């Protein structure tokens, strides 16, 4: 099967190690992964700011890059959800629809499509899982606390396969971190407070690392942690799942 | 065009295509012992429940709880006549100093500890709200399971006023501290008549 | 109410007192927790939500006929039915009824509809004394402020502050902040008003088309006490509050109190069908923009709202900014999708006071797609020009760059170079991000560049 890598713009520019870990992790599953070189952005920052009408060219570029693949895998719940719900092209809606149906966030791709049963990974640390909102409530990566329904969690399923990893529990297991894209700048006070509160929860439960499926959430909280000069570190789930036995 | 016509015209023009009503016969788990569940729920929301087998026991319980200076108004005909009988000629305001009002309820609901009463049981519609304490009497075999069962029982009954009354009046408006006794009665005493 | 400041500015002020924000946030989070506990005791909870949602969908698609049926039945019951196109007309109708009876002192129980219409202010200007009898509402009334939450009006007040307020207005002893003592004081104070008022105004939780009756839910019993001691009862209702049949209450009354406060039912769920002998009962059906919203596929679903407040309690932004930051009668998530419909200019900031986390939509008992509507409002607001120029330019530039791969790569490299070479130009107080956060580190090479070096030829 032809698998293409969709790397969010901010990971491409600021956290390339997450993309490298994603690529290596997929290759370890025996997959042949391509990386369309002219991809840029999914368009979410514009759309969420109210400028969805300016995303046509961005969408077109996305479709051009990812047309013809069986699966498109992305280490971001937020970007994946955006493409799934908002990728349209009036001039070729069939292509857009195909892509919408074939784009997957990394964790759900590994659990649902690849059916990973074990990982050759080791990460002997106490880890707190931050459940990014779009992946959780949009992609249903895990059961959200709002619903009266049976619990499940795809990220936890994979993290349990990592040797030595201890998953800590939290007081508020799926409260938003406050990043929210432009919200982090235009509603700075509330954004920072929300991030500080998430961090306090992880620290209270003695997490050494905070992980999640979205580097944007982690980037926001990392900024706060660095300002607080905290020992708590952030790490994308791809990097944990890809960490080798040393 | 008057407002009524303007509003109706706008609604007719703007409302979307008709969507059907759902089937609301949602399966739900049986609550088991309905009386036990009713007592548990009502107690947890601040009500007090006393089980009796004879109506006469009610009068003696009340006499124990309330001293002789209390003004106790009774609307229940077959109760012991020692309490002040409800006078239908009274003005609602006349009941402002009632310590305890005794009313009959129609039935209870186990899932929320509520009792259904209508104006025909209230004597005066102000009585269940203006009294300082309230006593309701229902038969324990009248207790239904869920609210859906309650509405099945009510059917298309006619009334001026019907109330589900669950526990004493309360508020948590001051820093979320629960206080029993807001503007309505400060306590609710429910007598469950266990018939043999 | 501070109508000139934006949510962002008001929220920033709110956050200056960190201890207070924590207290406000934790208090409201606990209400969310209580809701969860109550909901999880009902295994069929999600089916109930689905049923309620579908009933409301049916209502919105047949509102015309349901209102006519309600009016017909209500008239047969002896209730006077009035129709008001907007807030002004609603206020005038209510005032004229009060005037007809020569009354100038009335009691009112909680009604967000009357808040929306500014009834209290209007009546006050006409010389009518309005006493809000819900304890929380009375507290904010004495303090001359609007409620900050539709179910818990004074959730932003500490008991010591209420104690001081009562000391000033009710003459209670200074320093006694015991909630029971304060509630008893309010009981005594408001009882006088109940006993001397001849007219009571209530809201409407649900109106039943089939039977022409309406339901009012309270814990305090203030709506009932007010009505039963009055000669005239005026019920004020938004036209969307109709439900088709009495039996549907078996769905809605199971959802309402559990969603609002985590209790199985409110103490009183009173079904008013006919006036008492000798009493006049009126109901005012209010449009005020609802029929217009009905036409919109994007925003119609907001009309399903049963005003439970669950969305407020779960919203991480509301909990950390407080109701007054929303500068509108109904705050929180539902308020943010209703208010722009009333005044787009004044309320353009509200749909952006959200991270689109989606929690609200999933606690909503009638499944309103709140987070989707927040997104949709953003598009509408921008199209109508309600966006600041900086944002417009910034997004325009981003859109230009991000749709041109070559330009994206160059810009990316330049920005990263800039961040590494001259960090002080970005890491300063002019950069909002920098107020509480360090900037992310700029990687020396992009992934794209790494891939081309390490993989493209491999």
Q: Is C254 among the domain residues?
A: yes
In the structure, what pLDDT confidence band is assigned to residue A153 with cuts at 50, 70 and 90? very high
- C344-372 in b/e form (b: 16+ CB < 10 A) is eebbbbbbbbbbbbbbbbbbbbbbbbbbb
Task: Based on the fold, state whether residues A110 and A135 are members of the same structural domain.
Answer: no
Q: Which residues in chain C have their CB less than 8 angstroms from residue B165's CB? A: 267-268
* pLDDT tens digits, one per residue of B92-138: 999 999 999 999 999 999 999 999 999 999 999 999 999 999 999 99
Instruction: Please state whether C23 falls in left (phi above 0), alpha (psi between -120 and 50) or beta.
Output: alpha
**What order do you get walking across the sheet with A126-129 strand by strand?**
A166-167, A126-129, A209-212, A233-236
Are residues A237 and A131 part of one domain?
Answer: yes
**B192: DSSP letter:** E
Partner residue opposite B125 with nearest CB, options C83, C266, C276: C276
CB contact at 8 A, A35 and A2: no
Per-residue pLDDT, C177: 96
Strand order in the sheet with A103-105: A33-34, A3-5, A71-74, A103-105
pLDDT at C405 over 60: yes
Interchain touch C–A (≥3 Cβ pairs closer than 8 Å): yes
Q: Are residues C91 and C233 in the same domain?
A: yes
Lowest average pLDDT, out of C12-21, C74-83, C424-433, goes to C424-433
In a domain, C437, yes or no: yes
Determine the Cα–Cα distance for residues A17 and A31; give it in Å rounded to an integer: 19
Confidence of residue C181 (pLDDT cuts 50, 70, 90): very high
Q: Is residue A106 predicted with pLDDT exceeding 70? A: yes
- Contact between B171 and C183 using a beta-carbon 8 Å cutoff: yes
Q: Are residues C58 and C16 in the same domain?
A: no
Identify whether residues C176 and C109 lie together within a single domain: yes
- For C207-221, the pLDDT digits (tens) are 999 999 999 999 999
Last residue of a domain, one of A79, A114, A149: A114
pLDDT-above-70 percentage for chain A:
99
Q: Which residue from C158, C155, C162 is spatially nearest to C182, judged by alpha carbons?
A: C162
Q: Are A140 and A166 in a shared domain?
A: yes
Q: What are phi and psi of A155, to 5 degrees?
A: -60, -40
C397 and C381, same domain (yes or no): no
Residues 6+ apart with CB under 8 A from C239: B7, B11, C63, C67, C285, C286, C287, C290, C291
Q: Is the CB of C387 inside 8 Å of chain A's CB atoms? A: yes
Report yes or no on A199 lying in a domain. Answer: yes
| C380 and C344 part of one domain | yes
Mean pLDDT to the nearest integer, C8-20: 97
Structure confidence at residue C2 (pLDDT): 52
Task: For residue C58, name the pLDDT band (cuts at 50, 70, 90).
Answer: very high
In a domain, A121, yes or no: no
- Assess if residue C160 is contained within a domain: yes
Question: For A131-145, A206-220, C426-440, which range has the lowest pLDDT when averaged over its residues?
Answer: C426-440
Flag whether C228 is in a domain: yes
Domain-embedded: residue A20: yes
Please, what's the b/e burial string for C110-121 (b: 16 or more CB within 10 A of its CB; e: otherwise)? bbbbbbbbbbbe
Region for A243 from its dihedrals, namely left if φ exceeds 0, alpha if ψ lies in -120 to 50, beta otherwise: beta
Q: By the CB < 8 Å criterion, does A31 face chain C?
A: no
State the residue range of the domain holding A89: 2-114
Instruction: Name the average pLDDT for chain B.
Output: 94
- Coil, helix or strand at residue C445: coil
Q: Between B67 and B17, where is the model more confident?
A: B17
How close C409 gets to chain A, by Cα (Å)?
Answer: 8
| Helix, strand, coil % in chain B, rounded to nearest 5 | 30, 25, 45
The alpha carbon of C326 is separated from its chain's Cα centroid by a whole number of angstroms, namely 9
Q: Which of C81, C151, C117 is nearest to C342 (CA)?
A: C117
Kindly tell me the burial class for residue C403, based on how many C-beta atoms sit within 10 Å of its own C-beta (0-12, 13-18, 19 or more): buried
Residue C239 lies in a domain: yes
Instruction: Note whether C437 contacts A186, CB cutoff 8 Å.
Output: no
Residue C298 lies in a domain: no
**Residue B105 at interface with chain C, using a CB cutoff of 8 Å:** no
Kindly state whether residues C135 and C81 are assigned to the same domain: yes
Q: What is the CA radius of gyration of chain B?
A: 20
Averaged pLDDT for residues B152-174: 97
In a domain, A119, yes or no: no
A228 and A132 in one domain? yes
Structural domain count, chain C: 3
Total count of residues recorded for chain C: 458
Q: What φ, ψ does residue A122 adopt, rounded to 5°?
A: -140, 130
Question: Does any domain span residue A246?
Answer: no
- Specify if A94 maps to a domain: yes
Whether C322 contacts C148, CB under 8 Å: yes
Predicted confidence at residue A244, as pLDDT, reads 74
For residue A246, the model assigns a pLDDT of 41
Residue C83 sits in the same domain as residue C173: yes
Residues of C in contact with B156 (CB under 8 A): 211, 246
If asked whether residues A100 and A154 sit together in one domain, one would say no
Measured distance CA(A178)–CA(A197) in Å, rounded: 10
Domain final residue pick, A93, A114, A135 = A114
- For chain A, what is the domain count? 2
Q: Do A57 and A162 belong together in one domain?
A: no
Residue contact C440–A15, C-beta within 8 A: yes
pLDDT of residue B80: 67
DSSP string, C278-299: T-EEEEEEE-TTHHHHHT-TTT
Query: How big is chain A, counted in residues?
Result: 246
Average pLDDT over residues C398-403: 87
Beta carbons of B38 and B145 less than 8 angstroms apart: no
pLDDT-above-70 percentage for chain B: 98
Alpha-carbon distance of C424 to C429, in angstroms, equals: 10
Same domain for A164 and A87:
no
- Minimal CA–CA distance to C346: which of C386, C383, C291? C386
Reported confidence tier of residue C3, pLDDT bands at 50, 70, 90: low
Closest by Cα among B183, B93, B126, B89 to C276? B126
Q: Which residues of C touch B18 (CB under 8 A)?
A: 58, 61-62
Q: DSSP letter at B78?
A: T
Give the closest-approach CA distance of A165 to chain C in angstroms.
Answer: 26
Q: Per the confidence metrics, is the pTM higher than 0.90?
A: yes
Answer yes or no: is pLDDT of C271 > 50.
yes
Please, which pLDDT band fits residue C165 given cuts at 50, 70 and 90? very high
Give domain status of residue C294, yes or no: no
- Looking at the structure, do residues C308 and C336 belong to the same domain, yes or no? yes
Q: In chain B, which residues have their Cβ closer than 8 Å to the Cβ of C250?
A: 24, 146-148, 150-151
Q: Does ipTM top 0.90?
A: yes
- Is A142 found in the same domain as A101? no
What residue numbers bound the domain in which C316 lies? 1-41+304-387
Q: In terms of Cα–Cα distance, which of C179, C41, C430 is closest to B171?
A: C179
pLDDT for C458 beyond 50: no
C432–A188 C-beta distance less than 8 A: yes
Local confidence band at C420 (pLDDT 50, 70, 90 cut-offs): confident
- Whether residue A142 sits in one domain with residue A109: no
Q: What is the pLDDT of residue C455?
A: 86
Judged by CB atoms closer than 8 Å, whether chains meet at B173 and C133 is answered as no
pLDDT given for residue A201 in this prediction: 98
Average pLDDT over residues C3-24: 95
Residues A85 and A61 placed together within one structural domain of the fold: yes
Distance in angstroms (rounded) separating the CA atoms of residues B147 and C351: 37
> Would the pLDDT of A164 be above 70?
yes
Question: Is the same domain home to A110 and A189?
Answer: no
| Nearest residue of chain B to residue C47 (CA atoms) | B26
Chain C contact for A14 (CB, 8 A cutoff)? yes
Distance CA C110, CA C137 (A): 7
Q: What is the mean pLDDT of chain C?
A: 95
Q: Which residues 51-80 in chain B show a CB within 8 A of chain C?
A: none
Confidence band of C419 (pLDDT split at 50, 70, 90) = confident
Reported in sequence order, the residue ranges of A148-208 that DSSP labels E, i.e. its strands, are 166-167
Domain final residue, candidates A114, A139, A166: A114
Statement to judge: residues C202 and C57 lie in one domain: yes
pLDDT at B77: 83
Alpha-carbon span A24 to A30, nearest angstrom: 10
Q: Considering the domain boundaries, does residue A200 fall inside one?
A: yes
A138 to chain C, any CB pair closer than 8 A? The answer is yes
Q: Distance (Å) from the C-alpha of residue B26 to the closest C-alpha of chain C?
A: 7
List of chain A residues whose C-beta atoms are within 8 Å of the C-beta of residue C455: 23, 35
The residue among B184, B156, B12 whose CA lies nearest residue B95 is B184
Distance CA A38, CA A47 (A): 21
- 8 Å CB contact between B153 and B144: yes
How close, in Å, is residue B186 to chain C by CA atoms?
A: 10
Could you tell me if C162 and C67 lie in one domain?
yes
C311 shares its domain with C248: no
Q: What is the pLDDT of residue B82?
A: 77
Q: Do chains A and B touch (3 or more CB pairs under 8 A)?
A: no
Is there a single domain that holds both residue C172 and residue C188?
Answer: yes
Which of chain A's residues have a Cβ under 8 Å away from the Cβ of C369? none
**Residue C112 belongs to a domain:** yes
- Which partners does chain A have (≥3 C-beta pairs < 8 Å)? C
Contact flag C183-B14 (C-beta cutoff 8 Å): no
Q: What is the CATH number of the domain that holds A132?
A: 3.40.50
DSSP H helices in C295-342: 310-314, 316-319, 332-342
């Amino acid at each position: 099967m032809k698998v293409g890598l969709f790397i969010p713009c901010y990971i491409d520019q600021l956290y390339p190690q997450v993309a490298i870990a994603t690529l290596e992790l997929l290759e370890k599953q025996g997959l042949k992964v391509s990386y369309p070189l002219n991809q840029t952005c999914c368009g979410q920052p514009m759309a969420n700011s109210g400028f969805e009408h300016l995303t046509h060219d961005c969408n077109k570029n996305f479709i051009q890059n990812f047309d013809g693949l069986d699966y498109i895998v992305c280490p971001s719940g937020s970007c994946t959800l955006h493409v799934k719900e908002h990728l349209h092209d009036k001039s070729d809606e069939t292509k857009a629809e195909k892509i919408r149906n074939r784009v997957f966030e990394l964790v759900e791709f590994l659990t649902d499509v690849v059916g990973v049963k074990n990982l050759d990974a080791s990460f002997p640390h106490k880890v707190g899982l931050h459940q990014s909102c779009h992946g959780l409530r949009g992609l249903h990566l895990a059961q959200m606390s709002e619903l009266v329904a049976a619990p499940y969690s795809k990220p936890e399923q994979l993290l349990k396969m990592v040797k030595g990893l201890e998953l800590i529990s939290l007081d508020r297991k799926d409260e938003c971190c406050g990043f929210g894209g432009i919200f982090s700048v235009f509603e700075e006070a509330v954004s920072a407070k929300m991030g500080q509160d998430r961090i306090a929860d992880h620290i209270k439960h003695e997490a050494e690392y905070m992980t999640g499926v979205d580097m944007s959430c982690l980037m926001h909280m990392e900024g706060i942690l660095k300002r607080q000069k905290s020992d708590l570190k952030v790490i994308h789930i791809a990097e944990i799942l890809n960490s080798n036995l040393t | 065009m008057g407002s009524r016509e303007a509003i109706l015209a706008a609604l007719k023009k703007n409302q979307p295509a008709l969507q059907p009503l759902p089937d609301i016969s949602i399966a739900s788990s049986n609550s088991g012992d309905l009386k036990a569940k009713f007592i548990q729920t009502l107690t947890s929301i601040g009500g007090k429940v006393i089980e009796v087998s004879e109506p006469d026991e009610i009068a003696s319980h009340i006499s124990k709880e309330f001293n002789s200076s209390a003004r106790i108004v009774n609307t229940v005909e077959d109760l012991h006549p020692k309490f002040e009988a409800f006078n239908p000629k009274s003005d609602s305001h006349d009941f402002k100093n009632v310590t305890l009002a005794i009313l009959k309820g129609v039935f209870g609901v186990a899932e929320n500890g509520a009792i259904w009463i209508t104006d025909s049981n209230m004597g005066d519609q102000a009585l269940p709200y203006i009294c300082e304490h309230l006593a309701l009497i229902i038969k324990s075999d009248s207790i239904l399971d869920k609210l859906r069962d309650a509405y099945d029982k009510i059917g298309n009954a006619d009334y001026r006023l019907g109330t589900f009354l669950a526990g004493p009046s309360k508020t948590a408006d001051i820093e979320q501290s629960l206080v029993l006794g807001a503007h309505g009665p400060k306590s609710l005493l429910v007598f469950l008549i266990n018939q043999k | 109410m501070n109508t000139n400041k934006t949510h962002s500015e008001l929220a920033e002020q709110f956050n200056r007192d960190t201890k207070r924000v924590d207290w406000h946030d934790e208090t409201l989070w606990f209400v969310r927790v209580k809701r969860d506990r109550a909901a999880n005791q009902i295994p069929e909870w999600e089916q109930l939500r689905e049923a309620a949602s579908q009933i409301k969908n049916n209502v919105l698609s047949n509102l015309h006929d349901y209102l006519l049926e309600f009016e017909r039945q209500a008239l047969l019951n002896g209730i006077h039915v009035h129709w008001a196109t907007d807030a002004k007309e609603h206020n005038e109708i209510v005032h004229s009824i009060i005037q007809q009876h020569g009354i100038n002192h009335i009691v009112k129980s909680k009604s967000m509809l009357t808040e929306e219409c500014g009834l209290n202010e209007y009546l006050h200007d006409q010389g009518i004394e309005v006493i809000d009898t819900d304890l929380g509402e009375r507290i904010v009334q004495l303090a001359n402020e609007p409620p900050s939450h539709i179910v818990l009006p004074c959730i932003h007040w500490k008991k010591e502050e209420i104690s001081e307020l009562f000391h000033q207005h009710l003459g209670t002893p200074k320093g006694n902040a015991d909630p029971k003592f304060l509630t008893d004081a309010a009981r005594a104070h408001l009882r006088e008003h109940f006993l001397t008022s001849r007219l009571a105004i209530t809201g409407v939780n649900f109106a039943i088309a089939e039977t022409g009756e309406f339901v009012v839910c309270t814990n305090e019993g203030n709506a009932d006490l007010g009505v039963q001691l009055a000669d005239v009862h005026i019920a004020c209702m938004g036209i969307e509050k109709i439900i088709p049949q009495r039996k549907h209450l078996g769905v809605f009354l199971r959802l309402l109190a559990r969603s609002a406060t985590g209790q199985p039912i409110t103490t009183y769920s009173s079904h008013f069908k006919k006036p008492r002998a000798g009493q006049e009962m009126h109901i005012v059906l209010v449009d005020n923009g609802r029929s217009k919203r009905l036409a919109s596929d994007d925003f119609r679903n907001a009309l399903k709202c049963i005003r439970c407040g669950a969305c407020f309690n779960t919203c991480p932004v509301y909990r950390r900014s407080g109701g007054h930051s929303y500068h509108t009668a109904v705050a929180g998530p539902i308020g943010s999708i209703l208010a722009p419909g009333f005044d787009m200019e004044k309320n353009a900031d509200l749909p952006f006071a959200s991270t689109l986390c989606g929690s609200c939509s999933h606690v909503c008992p009638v499944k309103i797609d709140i987070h989707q509507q927040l997104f949709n409002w953003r598009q509408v607001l921008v199209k109508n020009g309600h966006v600041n120029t900086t944002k417009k330019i910034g997004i325009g530039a981003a859109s230009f760059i991000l749709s041109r791969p070559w330009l994206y790569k160059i810009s990316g490299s330049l920005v990263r170079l800039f961040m590494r070479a001259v960090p002080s130009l970005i890491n300063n107080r002019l950069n909002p991000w920098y107020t509480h956060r360090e900037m992310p580190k700029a990687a020396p090479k992009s992934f794209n560049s790494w891939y081309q070096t390490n993989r493209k030829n491999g």
